[in-house]
Structures are given as structure tokens and as C-alpha cells.
Structure 1
């Protein structure tokens, strides 16, 4: 679990990383940071246009393969180059909000039927990873706001994975995880905290 102060630190670092990267400057790790940030964690950095909330970029590392502070740096740089959008420009820096989502380790869901899988998924709290063959896709828990129905969520996750059979989730590998999310309420503004166990409820840091 991260404290609100630690989450604020990560968002500020992600923002600083994004600005330096977009300006072509070198991005260094902070000289001092919490010992906890040396632990491997999965993380995603999400950029949204302000005030519309339209997605501008979202890239991350789903598995705990790198120290958290390094993962945030990598995800922040990559989010500015999300292939779904044009590269982020310097003129957009004060027109976006930055969100950092720190993931728990994804756990495989064992199920023998589609109905059993649906029972083991908690909308609003569980992020999901779908794998089938070489294809894979991930939705953060925040996506439940746009896709509140479990079946619709899974069908769209198939499309995200590049699988055009909307029923492919019924015989795919499914992993679930939770996140602690920290987000700027407005560009350079107050940072909101979404606790791990209470997805959807935000508190200001």
C-alpha cells in the first residue's frame, strides 16, 4: 500500500519526466525517494485532455519487472508516444492531466465456465488482462466507468487484444489485478487519491 504522500510524489515525478522527455532533455531518477519505490511493481501512466477528460495516452508495465520508480519513468515517457495518438507536444503540457496507477501482481482466474468467470470479476475494482495465443490486452479498473457491464467489458477487452471474436474471452486466459491510482485534478493541480479497496471514491492529497 502506498501513502497519499508517496502517490503525490509519483505523479509529480511522472509530470516532470513527461515535460523533460517532450522537451528533449535527459530524464534522471530523483536523488532521494522512498525505499519502497525500489520494489518491483507494475504501473501505468495515463494522460487525459483537460477539461474534457479525453484520453491522450496510456502506457504501462503490467508486471512487477522493474523497480517502481524506474517503471514510472519508463511508462511516463512511453505515454507521450502512445501509438494511438500523435506524439505529445510541448504546447499540450498545460492542457493535460497526469494519472499514475500502481498495480498489484496480476493473478490468473481459474474458471470452468463463462458464468464462473463472471462471478469472479468485481466491476469497478478489478483490472483485467486477457491472453490468447500471441494476443493480449489490458483494461485498468478505471475502464469500468465506460463499460460497466461485465460481458461488454470482456468483449471490448478482446478487441483491445486484437481478437475480433467477441466471445474469445470464454476460452482465454484471464488475469485480474487491483490498482492504487493518483491523478491531477487539473494540470499541475491538486492530486486525487483512489484507494486500493474503494475504487471510484477519490480523496484529495
Structure 2
């Protein structure tokens, strides 16, 4: 197996993307049939899929979110990470009922592979909107034990940094204006996204 490390987004070629989408599709199908997921032989995969990586798998149906699960931390081989999150997005996203087998053909899969997150330094709350880069940065906000993230794709719906931050505060269960009232712990990351 490849030397354990953390991969950077933006490195996957077309073949590697297709392999990950196939792994995710197979996990989606098996999960709706209550079947065990196939064991992935990492030695048969490109090295880039054997290295630890962090991913999110997003499921959409008729252009509406149907499930999205992932991790910000690279703790297992990328191929296994995508398989695990495809299953979880289909069957364990608490916002949605489980995906049924009858829906599988209508579900579109998107995989996002994340770079390691980096802390974002700022001194005053009003500086924060200027420090994040729309359409580029995924953002993690943390206030004590509360934490939430938006992938960079969310900028498509929330184009203004202030709205992006307010919705992210609400997602973590805080008042939407919390980012304006105090300094929060903030991280940014980027993704390589691809879909079927």
C-alpha cells in the first residue's frame, strides 16, 4: 500500500475520478438493497486513491439535495472514504429519509475531495467577509463545541460573504449574526469536485 499521507485536492485525473464515482455508485446501490459493501482492494487502485484523503459525497435528485455526508479530516484511504460517505449520504443523513432502491437511477452523485484545512486569522469580526474567497474557499466555523462547514459549492446559492457566514452560523445552531458579534475559530479549504 502507498505510504500514508494526506493528499491534496486538484491532483485526480479523469480515470481516478471515474473510479471514485463508480465506487460511490456501487455503494449507493448496495446500500439500498441492504447488501454488504464490496471490499476494495487498495493495491488494485492508483496510488492517489490509496493515500489518506478527506471527501464529501453529495447526492441530488431533480437538482435538489438528497444527502451529503463527509469529513474534513483525512483519516483513511481516499477510496474507502468515498465509499463510506456514499453509503452515509444515502442512508444516514438525518435531514432526509433513506434513499430507496427505486430512486437510485434518479440520483446524481458528486464527489468533493478536500485539501487540508488551514486556520484563517482575523482580528475584528467585520474583517471576516473580506478574508474568505467566494467560489474558492470552503469554510468551517467553530464556536466552542459547535461547528459547521459549507463546501465551496454553496457559494452558488449564497454569493455574498455576509449571507454565506450568516447561514453557516445558523447551520451550526447559533444565531445567524454570531460571526458579527465575536471572533470565531475559522478554517478554510478548497476542493476538487466532479460528478457523474
Same fold by TM (over 0.5)?
Answer: yes
* Structure 2 unmatched runs, 5+: 1-10
Shift of 1:165: 4.3
Is the 8 Å Cα contact of residues 29 and 69 (structure 1) preserved in structure 2? no
SS of 1:171 mapped into structure 2: coil
Alignment root-mean-square deviation, CA: 1.3
* Structure 1 unmatched runs, 5+: 185-205
Superposition pairs for residues 132-171 of structure 1, below 5 Å?
132-168=143-179, 170-171=182-183
Return structure 1 stretches of 4+ with deviation > 3 angstroms.
none
Query: Does 1:119 find its partner at 2:130?
Result: yes
SS of 1:105 mapped into structure 2: coil
Superposition pairs for residues 5-24 of structure 1, below 5 Å?
5-24=15-34
Name the structure where helix makes up a greater proportion of residues. 2
Is the 8 Å Cα contact of residues 168 and 176 (structure 2) preserved in structure 1? no
Q: How many residues align?
A: 182
CA distance in 2, matches of 1:30, 1:67: 10
Shift of 1:127: 0.4
CA distance in 2, matches of 1:127, 1:158: 14
Is the 8 Å Cα contact of residues 45 and 76 (structure 1) preserved in structure 2? yes
Is the 8 Å Cα contact of residues 108 and 195 (structure 2) preserved in structure 1? yes
Q: TM-score, normalised by structure 2?
A: 0.88
Is the 8 Å Cα contact of residues 52 and 76 (structure 2) preserved in structure 1? yes
Q: TM-score, normalised by structure 1?
A: 0.85
Is the 8 Å Cα contact of residues 125 and 179 (structure 2) preserved in structure 1? no
Is the 8 Å Cα contact of residues 169 and 175 (structure 2) preserved in structure 1? yes
Task: Between 3-12 and 149-158, report the one with greater CA deviation.
Answer: 3-12
The equivalent of 1:38 in structure 2 is 50
